[in-house]
Amino acid sequence: MTPDDSNSTDASERDYEELLVLPAELRHELKEPMGPIETDADRLLETVDGPLITVGDVVTYHLLAAGRVPDVAFVDERTKRDAVDEKIRETVATEPTHEVINPPAELSGDVIRALREGLASDEPATVLVDGEEDLVAVPAIAAAPEGASVVYGQPDEGMVHVTVTAEHRAEMRVLLERFDGDIERFWELLGTRS
């Protein structure tokens, strides 16, 4: 299912909806990991009990290689602003269930619809992002059910694993309220209220 509830629709065929933009003064707050860092995918998966949301090509690749298909995976065919190698790209991005537009330092309507639908689906979803997927960890933590795992990459360190709690969700909601843009529309599309 695609974000507009029709069959496969290319991201470039839809109107881009800017929702939230990360203000410069918040960038430093997002540099710190939101959970423990793990370098071993098998060891990380031992602590996953519930839905798994991954943000990033390399993280998604390592968890797939360890035998766990994420319930929702966000990939953009890039790592640290460079293209991922062919093996990673072929593993994580060959058959996306959603293709969305999400510019760097933004959260678009496209990516939020894909997150919501991925979380609601009984089938695994892979979201191929035209732009950048880095910030998706924040609304993923805000929207994921308690006990879900959100895993994203910390450059040159490893995989950050957040086991979602009510406290995590509340912290992310407060953070999201500080973004610039249409916060009411954002909560409406995410399907939750602040």
Detail the residues annotated as belonging to a binding site for GTP: 57-59, 76, 133, 156
CB 160 within 8 A of CB 152: yes
CB 50 within 8 A of CB 147: yes
* Structure-token match 């993280």, residue found: 59
* Structure-token match 């203000």, residue found: 23
Distance CA 111, CA 101 (A): 7
Distance CA 55, CA 51 (A): 13
Distance CA 170, CA 135 (A): 17
Distance CA 49, CA 51 (A): 7
Which residue ranges make up the annotated binding site? 57-59, 76, 133, 156
Distance CA 67, CA 69 (A): 7
